[in-house]
Amino acid sequence: MTPSTVRGDDGKRRCSWCIADPLYVQYHDHEWGRPVRDERAIFEKICLEGFQAGLSWLTILKKRETFREAFKGFEPEVVARFTTRDVNRLMNNAAIVRNQKKIESTINNARATLRLAESGESLANVFWSAQRTKPKASPRSLAQVPALTPESAALSKTLLKHGFTFVGPTTLYAAMQSLGVVNDHVASCHRVR
């Protein structure tokens, strides 16, 4: 059985899922679970989590800078103007995940983000509305970390209603974990807040 935390060379205990690669350790220590409320960053994370479906997060993490370049910094206003020509350009970019439906979903989600703003709402507010009013205790083991929650299912329904795609409850729960809406660092991890 895999332990829930592992002590690194620096003496710090970390969630064991991150120890496979130094890039993963860096992501775990400096990003995963830290609250993010920036609209662009939330849009980027939702899109990258959509690209991750069926793959490992480490695969996406290793390609993240190329994704940012290919999708013009994930600025919703810019991505919303992408055309079929951009879809073709992205489908020919071997440095990203070349999945036409996921590429088109990113463009669609940029447009949905702008429609939210036009209606007086923000993606950040909608996303953070999934936060529990009373935070749950840190999991004692990785086995206690769910793949989805009622909150992520409700957020999925809300975003689908607003026209977003590739935003299933499992995808959104991964984004909620990453962006600090929930804190799923195992209790013995040095990053528990």
By annotation, the residues acting in catalysis are 27, 49, 57
Query: Can you spell out the DSSP letters for 124-154?
Result: HHHHHTTS-SSPPPPPSSGGGS-S--HHHHH
Instruction: Describe the chain by its helix, strand, coil percentages, rounded to 5.
Output: 55, 5, 40
Contacts for 1 with CB less than 8 Å, ≥ 6 apart: none
End-to-end CA distance of the chain: 26
